[in-house]
Structure 1
Amino acid sequence: MRCSYIRLLVDDYEACFRFYSDVLKLPVLRGDEHSRYAEFDVDSTTRLALNQREVMAEALETDTADPGLPHQDRMAVVFEVDDVDATAARLVAAGARQVMAPRDWTAWGIRAAHFRDPDGYLLEVSRPLI
């Protein structure tokens, strides 16, 4: 697994986009001020991404799913893998708590599965759809 993204799940997407693009001057690789998702070059193989918080909560049905967790996540750590299904099966077999089984997220251009660590943080294993 390679950590490919740190994804911040933000409430005020437009203000955060302007902060990272205009204040920090990070080059925008994907998205814009209104797209609700953007990726920034942080001079590393790992990218920084912003995602409108509600978009992720709706996609993973976490806005009401578990009373022990915040209604919407604040961040996700994204690991790129060669085989999402095999990695997800290995993680489940090892005892990882799966949030969403592997599936194609065509709007996002990825195949991904989602998990939680023991403290409830959201983890994604994914690969680009090509």
Structure 2
Amino acid sequence: MSGFDQLVTFVRVADIDRSSAFYGGVLGLELVRDQGACRIFRVSGDGFLGVCVATEPFEPDDRVILTLVADDIAGWGERLAAAAVTIEKPPTDYPEFEITHLFARDPDGYLVEIQRFWEHLG
């Protein structure tokens, strides 16, 4: 048995076009597969995010945080604000974890964190 090749995280959404506009347009993620009711975006390398139309009503769960790692947290804050995205927490240093991050909400209310590690992982 070999290890894992890729990571895909899926979230349920109410409106796939609205979510695609957020993840593909506002965040600039590349759409790599359109399966109709699900669309998969490349976050980086072999890491992907899938959005799928919910078949029943749902409430986003704050136990789930979609964290995207980038260098320019302030720039992302400006880009999200310009796109009228709800910012839950502006760019903030968090010395305890040696990160700078911000929190925003996607169109379905999921918590999206954009984070910079002060020392790169791996």
What TM-score bracket applies, with the shorter chain setting the length?
A: 0.3 to 0.5
TM-score normalised by the chain length of structure 1: 0.45
Larger strand share, 1 or 2: 2
TM-score normalised by the chain length of structure 2: 0.47
